[in-house]
Amino acid sequence: MLKTVLVGLISFFLISGLLIGIGHLFDIELLTFTFQENPSSGFWAEGSVIPFIIGLISCYFIGNYYEKRRQGSTKR
């Protein structure tokens, strides 16, 4: 069970990071996250949650696939 959770978390971070990186590389606003720090007025951050939502959905499917594959290999 712990391996399934780790596979899901790693896939979430990798997919979300990859999508945010693609958003910054190709300047896609739906995939970017920006952060600016102004010493006089604090900080300002804005961004899209779409990469994180896609990461959560893919994490769910990858975790389920991994668990089914692991259970299928132990039944033999």
pLDDT band at residue 71 using 50, 70 and 90 as cut-offs: confident
Give the span between the Cα atoms of 18 and 23, in whole angstroms: 9
Q: Is the pLDDT of residue 73 over 80?
A: no
Give the residues across from 14 on adjacent strands: none
Q: Is the pLDDT of residue 65 over 70?
A: yes
- The pLDDT of residue 76 is 55
Tell me the domain boundaries of the chain.
Answer: 2-74
CB 15 within 8 A of CB 57: no
Q: What is the mean pLDDT of the chain?
A: 87
Give the residues across from 33 on adjacent strands: 47
> Can you list the positions of beta strands (E) in the chain?
33-38, 42-47
- The pLDDT of residue 67 is 87
pLDDT digit string, tens, across residues 28-56: 989 988 877 877 888 777 888 999 999 99
